[in-house]
């Protein structure tokens, strides 16, 4: 439970953080809320030589109404997102999901940037951002680029971010209605055994938590809905083509079953919410 020794640097700006990251990207890690990284370090599953603490960089904690979309600073804490009026009004799915992450302690420390950059298939916010078809704003030595959520989550703890890049902002389209979220766990504070974020606004996007190596879309369900299937029939296909993990909380078979139930419930919620 004691991490291997490391050097700690506190960045005052994105430029400073990127500069230190560039010095030795492979053994340097950004530290935001620390609630994914520090547990790995304590178990010595991660042993970075240098930690660049970005947590106190000013100006990166915001939820802003940008007209057709909402922009969220990478250092926005889950709790700030949960109670943000802008988020509640324009992307209530995101505010709601932020309120479902872990426990109050985690929500007051963890950041949306850290949650997305970590690329954990069991995390909730990536599924919400994927269902909202969000855009990641990434800064790095080669300048700024934007990555669609659909291209961002690559594999287990793997994203489109290069080791020398930093995620600075997330943008999501406004979706005030037509959303549903289902998180199935055994204790309120736990990660999802399976989770579902659904957005139904004309077309339907259904994203799944913990149904594969990374955050995924339930493509078969989405296609069925596009083709006019009813919710129950479409949801029955939620796990098609997916290879969810087996662990102490549930076998792959059980997760497949849960996905069908939870996708149905999330879609029912979404359509009911749309009225």
Partner 1 sequence: MSATMTEDTPAKGVVGTRMLRREDPALLSGEARYVHDLVVPGALHMAVVRSPYAHARVTSVDVSGALGMPGVAAAFSGADLAGEWGSAMPCAWPVTADMQSPPHFPVALNEACYVGDAVAVVLAGSQAEAQDAAGAVAVVYEELPAAVDLEDAASDRVLAHSDLSSNRAYTWELTPDADAVTRAFDAAAVTVKERYVQQRLIPAAMEPRGVCVVPQPFGGEYLVYSATQIPHILRTMLGITAGVPEERIRVVAPSVGGGFGSKLDVYAEELLCLVLSRRLRKPVRWSEERSEAAQATIHGRGQVQEIELAADTDGRVQAVRVRLLADMGAYMQLVTPGVPLLGAFLYHGVYDVAAYSFTCTGVFTNKTPTDAYRGAGRPEATYAIERAMDALARKVGTDPAEVRRRNFIGADKFPYASAAGLLFDSGNYEGALDAALELVDYEGLREEQARRRGQGASKLLGVGLSSYVEMCGLAPSRVLASLNYVAGGWEAATVRMLPTGKVQVVTGATPHGQGHVTSWSMIIADKLGVSPEDVEVLHSDTAVSPLGLDTYGSRSLAVGGTAIALAADRLIDKARLLAAHRLEVAPEDLELSSGQFSVRGSPSSAMALGALAFEAFTAHDLPQGMEPNLEASATYDPTNFTFPFGTHVAVVEVDAETGKVDLVRYSAVDDCGNQINPLIVDGQVHGGIVQGVAQALFEEAVYDDDGNLLTTTFTDYLVPAASEVPSFSLGRTVTPSPSNPLGVKGIGEAGTIASTPAVVNAVVDALSHLGVVDIAMPVTPERVWRSIGAAAPGTGGGR
Ligand X SMILES: Cc1cc2nc3c(=O)[nH]c(=O)nc-3n(C[C@H](O)[C@H](O)[C@H](O)COP(=O)(O)OP(=O)(O)OC[C@H]3O[C@@H](n4cnc5c(N)ncnc54)[C@H](O)[C@@H]3O)c2cc1C
Should residue 8 be labelled a site residue for partner 1 when binding is judged by CB under 8 A? no
1 makes contact with partner 1 (CB under 8 A): yes
The entry of partner 1, ligand X, none near residue 68 (CB within 5 to 8 angstroms by kind) is: none
Quick check: 191 binds partner 1 (CB under 8 A)? yes
Nearer CB in complex with partner 1: 172/194: 194
SS3 for 31-66 is ECCCCCHHHHHHCCCCCCCEEEECCCCCCCCCEEEE
Strands 135-140 and 166-173: antiparallel
Partner from ligand X, partner 1, none contacting 124, C-beta within 5 to 8 A by type: ligand X
What lies within 8 Å, CB to CB, of 57 at 6+ separation is 11, 12, 13, 14, 17, 75
Shortest Cβ distance from residue 205 to ligand X (Å)?
Answer: 18
Applying CB under 8 A, the span of 29-37, 146-154, 199-207, 254-262 interacting with partner 1 comes to: 254-262
Name the strand (E) or helix (H) holding 143. Answer: strand 143-148
Cα distance between residue 100 and residue 79, in whole Å: 10
* Candidate ranges 129-137, 146-154, 226-234, 244-252; the one touching partner 1 (CB under 8 A): 244-252
CA distance 213 to 162: 19
Site residues (vs partner 1, CB under 8 A): 1-2, 4-5, 103, 184, 186-191, 193, 248-251, 253-254, 257-258, 261-262
């Amino acid at each position: 439970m004691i991490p291997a020794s490391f050097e700690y640097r506190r960045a005052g700006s994105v430029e400073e953080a990127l500069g230190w990251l560039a010095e030795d990207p492979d053994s340097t890690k950004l530290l935001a809320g620390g609630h994914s990284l520090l547990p790995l370090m304590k178990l010595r599953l991660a042993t970075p030589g240098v930690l660049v603490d970005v947590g106190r960089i000013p100006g990166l904690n915001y939820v802003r109404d940008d007209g057709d979309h909402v922009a969220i600073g990478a250092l926005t804490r889950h709790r700030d997102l949960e109670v943000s009026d802008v988020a509640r009004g324009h992307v209530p799915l995101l505010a709601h999901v932020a309120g479902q992450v872990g426990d109050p302690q985690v929500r007051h420390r963890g950041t949306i940037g850290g949650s997305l950059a970590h690329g954990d298939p069991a995390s909730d916010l990536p599924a919400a951002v994927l269902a909202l078809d969000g855009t990641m704003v990434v800064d790095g030595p080669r300048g700024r680029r934007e990555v669609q959520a659909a291209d961002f989550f690559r594999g287990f703890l793997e994203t489109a971010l290069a080791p020398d890049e930093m995620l600075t902002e997330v943008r999501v389209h406004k979706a005030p209605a037509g959303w549903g979220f289902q998180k199935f766990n055994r204790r309120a504070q736990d990660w999802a055994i399976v989770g579902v974020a659904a957005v139904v606004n004309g077309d339907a996007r259904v994203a799944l938590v913990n149904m594969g190596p990374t955050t995924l879309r339930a493509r078969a369900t989405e296609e069925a809905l596009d083709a006019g299937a009813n919710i129950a029939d479409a949801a029955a296909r939620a796990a098609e083509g997916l290879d969810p993990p087996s662990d102490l909380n549930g076998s792959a078979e059980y997760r497949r079953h849960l996905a069908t139930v939870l996708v149905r419930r999330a879609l029912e919620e979404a359509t009911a919410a749309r009225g």
